[in-house]
């Protein structure tokens, strides 16, 4: 048995706003230091040693996950131009294969493809297994086909640092072109297929410049299309579905601004501003042609907390606004997709996603309905400007991922495919429901739960609970199916999601009430959800494990300090547990952009004091009986640096926490390991630790 690594304490003084803090583990930030690497490897060795007794369970769980997945499978083909595009996987291969087959003119019904059966006329566009060969990590970023279907653009990341190398292949000759652009934020082909539009990042990892590369020319001759100098803002770009405009979007967490380039003219022309940026106003746009006129449909929150939808003349976007969907408190408009004859609108009401069809002529919205009480539905995979079908995705906690085509003539939902789950899965064996917890200020916080019926209803007896939470950036944790989760449910575990403030489940105010100087609500809401599950007899502290990742890892760290006795264990993935140190340093990746989410502690003493009051690392308490903790991180993560959980674990050990483990992937990024088998093994590792903590091992 190895002893837990004990990190050396070294004086490192940080002074801000007359407050001095000695950060004894800040030396772990030196990523290139052999001493730091040795410490991380010692942490991994200790974790391996402490979890060695779970090896058989991990293998069992991996085989369970693998055994439920149809390893050789295909996606539902999507029509674009004269081709059907689809992806497929093969048993034994880590990554997907992107393919296409010729379409019959006028046939919009996707061909039914059988797993393992050769597809007539198939062209393999990109085999990621070939691309990943010889690399420990592989992530496919951009993937794009030119409008004339003769060129392919792809951009892999081979380190996990989210820097992508753009490459282009001639699909007629099969030749990979000499054009290669490294260290980008990704990109796409111009509609005519003669150029690449891509972004690059500044030293703080912020996408700040948009470029045009002409195929066949040196990269050093690339043209700057747009540069955003304000370090609080990032930029992105895309083409309207009509292929008429290049849209350049500039945004922070709270403010947006968009520009148009008319592609019927010179793509290098000066981009035209749509609406000038106004602090606190966000907007996004879609292009449509209504009664022969180019119109922009703009979703915005100016004097409309939950957003409204207006349309303006594309020729005069700052002119008269026509209100299409008026603001309605509690109905959070999320987005719009414009097609030739109609548009789709996605919105959130009562904590659930909704999809409606918008009639350009009347502004009427026809809402689609689904049978389950908890579900997720959205528009996706619709590249064509005009099609007789609308592709939709659907899932719930008990319904595997499902692909529908909505027949626009009959309004009939046509089932194209449901994710196969091997081993005799029957959704009727499982149930889902929503409960409500009372927060400390009286706010009702929703809790979603899913369980296996054979173990009884929640509250009938005390059961193990896996409580998940996030609660930042207005990101919602919506109902969704998980093959790996079945290994929990089939052992009697109830999986629950605490929809805490700071997320977007209940509208924009739900988000506003859990950010900046309201951030503590996120943490106390989670504790309130845990208390509700305990007080109603669903579980007990000895049978509850909490989990969160990234900003949800901040939640885990804060909860460990606030309510250590309410949980048997805490699983924190790539956890943002040293937020004050990070947000104080503008030179770190993405820090300045984050000031709109957390506040600016560098220049605001009140924000500094507030963040210091909840920062997990700085609030670890000596002599407290902490629950078991497993922290997962990655050496090449550029969003939450490995040093945060490394410091946190060191401080917990110093404080006397008896069972704290750190697992650091030495060749991965923010999303963890790459490859589906590697991902399943990583999840099996986490679940085995969780079951051990819950007494189910």
Instruction: Judge whether 550 counts as a catalytic residue.
Output: yes
3 state SS of 102: strand
Q: What's the confidence (pLDDT) of residue 637?
A: 85
The closest alpha carbon to 403, from 75, 48, 62, belongs to 75
3 state SS of 296: strand
The closest alpha carbon to 473, from 527, 512, 518, belongs to 512
Which residue in the block uniquely carries the two structure tokens 């009938």?
A: 460
The closest alpha carbon to 241, from 297, 307, 301, 194, belongs to 297
Q: CA-CA distances (angstroms) from residue 247 to 81, 112, 191, 257, 267?
A: 22, 35, 13, 10, 11
The three-point CA angle 65-66-70 to 5° equals 115
| In contact, 569 and 627? CB cutoff 8 Å | yes
| In contact, 56 and 38? CB cutoff 8 Å | no
- 542 DSSP assignment: G
d(CA 83, CA 108): 10
d(CA 53, CA 44): 15
Q: Dig out the tokens for 665 from the structure.
A: 């992937």
Which residue in the block uniquely carries the two structure tokens 């030293």?
A: 203
516: left (phi over 0), alpha (psi -120 to 50) or beta: left
Q: CA-CA distances (angstroms) from residue 685 to 387, 620, 678?
A: 45, 26, 11
Task: State the greatest distance between any 2 C-alpha atoms of the chain, in Å, as a whole number.
Answer: 76
292 Cβ contact list (under 8 Å, min separation 6) = none
d(CA 67, CA 60): 10
Buried b or exposed e, range 475-501, using 16+ CB within 10 angstroms: bbbbbbbbbbbbbbbeebbbbbbbbbb
Q: Dig out the tokens for 419 from the structure.
A: 């994710």
Mean pLDDT by runs of 10 across the 697 residues of the chain is: 90 97 97 96 97 98 98 97 97 97 93 94 97 95 97 96 96 97 97 96 94 98 97 96 98 96 96 97 98 97 98 97 97 98 96 96 96 95 96 98 97 97 98 97 98 97 98 97 98 98 97 98 98 98 98 98 98 97 90 94 98 98 97 92 97 96 89 91 98 96
Q: Dig out the tokens for 232 from the structure.
A: 């609080």
Q: How many Cβ atoms sit within 10 Å of the Cβ of residue 277?
A: 18
d(CA 48, CA 581): 29
**Is the C-alpha dihedral spanning 599, 603, 608, 609 positive or negative?**
negative
Of 39, 634, 670, 674, the active-site residue reads: 670
β strands within 228-380, DSSP E = 234-239, 245-251, 256-262, 272-273, 283-290, 293-300, 308-313, 322-325, 331-338, 343-349, 352-358, 365-367, 376-379
Phi, psi of 562 (to 5 degrees): -75, -40
Instruction: Judge whether 535 counts as a catalytic residue.
Output: no
The closest alpha carbon to 439, from 471, 480, 473, belongs to 471
Q: What's the confidence (pLDDT) of residue 93?
A: 97
Please give the domain boundaries of the chain with CATH numbers for all domains. 13-66+424-694 (3.40.50.1820), 82-128 (no CATH), 135-281 (2.130.10.120)
Of 73, 472, 637, 674, the active-site residue reads: 637
Of 550, 573, 582, 634, the active-site residue reads: 550
- 70 DSSP assignment: -
Q: Dig out the tokens for 74 from the structure.
A: 């295909």
- Burial (0-12, 13-18, 19+ Cβ within 10 Å), 49: middle
| β-bridge mates for residue 336, sequence order | 345
Instruction: Judge whether 658 counts as a catalytic residue.
Output: no
Output the CA torsion 372→375→381→383 (10° steps). Answer: 90
d(CA 272, CA 589): 30
| β-bridge mates for residue 311, sequence order | 297, 322
Q: What's the confidence (pLDDT) of residue 638?
A: 86
Q: CA-CA distances (angstroms) from residue 584 to 229, 593, 616?
A: 20, 12, 15
Which residue in the block uniquely carries the two structure tokens 């409580």?
A: 467
Output the CA torsion 191→258→302→233 (10° steps). Answer: 130
| In contact, 152 and 173? CB cutoff 8 Å | no
| In contact, 546 and 606? CB cutoff 8 Å | no
Angle, helix 676-694 to helix 55-68, in steps of 10 degrees: 130
Chain mean position to CA 432: 23
Q: What's the confidence (pLDDT) of residue 403?
A: 98
Rg of the chain over all Cα atoms, to the nearest angstrom: 26
């Amino acid at each position: 048995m190895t002893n837990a690594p004990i990190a050396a304490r070294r004086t490192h003084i940080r002074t801000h706003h007359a407050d001095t803090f000695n950060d004894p583990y800040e030396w772990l930030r030196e990523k290139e230091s052999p001493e730091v690497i040795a410490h991380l490897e010692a942490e991994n060795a200790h974790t391996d040693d402490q979890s060695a007794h779970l090896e058989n369970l991990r293998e069992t769980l991996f085989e369970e996950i693998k055994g439920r997945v149809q390893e050789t499978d295909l996606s539902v083909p999507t029509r674009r131009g004269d081709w059907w595009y689809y992806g497929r996987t093969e048993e034994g291969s880590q990554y997907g294969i992107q393919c296409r087959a010729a379409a019959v003119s006028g046939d919009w019904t996707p061909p039914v493809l059988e797993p393992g059966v050769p597809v007539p006329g198939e062209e393999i566009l990109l085999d990621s297994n070939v691309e990943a060969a010889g690399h420990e990590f592989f992530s496919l970023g951009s993937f794009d086909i030119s409008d004339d279907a003769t060129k392919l653009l792809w951009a892999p990341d081979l380190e996990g640092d989210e820097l992508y190398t753009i490459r282009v292949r001639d699909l007629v000759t099969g030749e990979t072109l000499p054009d290669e652009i490294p260290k980008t934020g990704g990109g796409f082909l111009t509609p005519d297929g003669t150029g690449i539009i891509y972004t690059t990042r500044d030293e703080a990892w912020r996408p700040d410049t948009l470029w045009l590369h002409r195929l066949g020319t040196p990269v050093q001759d690339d043209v700057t299309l747009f540069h955003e100098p304000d370090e609080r803002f990032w930029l992105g770009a895309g083409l309207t579905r009509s292929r008429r405009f290049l849209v350049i979007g500039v945004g922070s967490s709270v403010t947006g601004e968009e520009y148009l380039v008319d592609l019927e003219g010179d793509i290098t022309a000066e981009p035209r501003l749509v609406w000038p940026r106004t602090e606190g106003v966000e907007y996004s746009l879609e292009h449509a042609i209504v009664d022969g006129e180019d119109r922009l449909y703009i979703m915005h929150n100016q004097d409309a907390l939950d957003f409204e939808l207006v349309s303006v003349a594309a020729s005069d976007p700052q002119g008269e606004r026509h209100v299409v969907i008026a603001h309605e408190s509690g109905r959070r408009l999320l987005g719009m997709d414009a097609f030739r004859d109609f548009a789709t609108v996605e919105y959130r009401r009562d904590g659930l996603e909704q999809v409606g069809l918008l009639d350009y002529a009347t502004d009427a919205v026809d809402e689609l309905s689904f049978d389950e009480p908890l579900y997720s539905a959205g528009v996706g995979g619709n590249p064509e400007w005009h099609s007789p079908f609308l592709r939709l995705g659907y899932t719930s906690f008990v319904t595997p991922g499902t692909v529908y085509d909505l027949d626009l003539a009959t309004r009939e939902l046509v089932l194209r495919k449901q994710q196969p789950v091997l081993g005799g899965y029957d959704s009727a064996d499982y149930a889902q429901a929503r409960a409500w917890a009372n927060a400390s200020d009286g706010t009702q916080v929703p809790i979603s739960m899913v369980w296996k019926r054979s173990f009884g209803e929640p509250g009938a007896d005390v059961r193990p609970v896996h409580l998940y939470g996030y609660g930042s950036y207005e990101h919602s944790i919506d109902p969704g199916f998980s093959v790996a989760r079945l290994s929990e449910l089939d052992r009697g575990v109830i999986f629950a999601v605490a929809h805490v403030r700071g997320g977007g489940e209940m509208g924009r105010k739900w988000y506003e009430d859990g950010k900046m100087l309201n951030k503590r609500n996120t943490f106390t809401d989670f504790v309130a959800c845990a208390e509700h599950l305990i007080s109603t007899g669903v579980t007990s502290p000895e049978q509850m494990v909490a989990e969160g990742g990234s900003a949800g890892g901040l939640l885990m760290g804060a909860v460990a300090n606030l309510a250590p006795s309410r949980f048997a264990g805490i699983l924190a993935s790539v956890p943002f547990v040293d937020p004050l140190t990070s947000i104080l340093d503008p030179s770190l990746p993405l820090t300045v952009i984050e000031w709109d989410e957390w506040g600016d502690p560098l220049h605001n003493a009140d924000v500094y004091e507030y963040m210091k009051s909840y920062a997990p690392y700085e609030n670890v308490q000596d002599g407290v009986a902490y629950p078991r903790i497993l922290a997962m991180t990655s050496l090449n993560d550029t969003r939450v640096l490995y040093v945060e959980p490394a410091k946190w674990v060191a401080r917990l050990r110093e404080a006397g926490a008896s069972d704290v483990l750190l697992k650091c992937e030495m060749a991965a990024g923010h999303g963890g390991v790459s490859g589906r088998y590697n991902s399943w093994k990583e999840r099996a590792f986490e679940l085995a630790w969780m079951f051990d903590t819950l007494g189910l091992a």
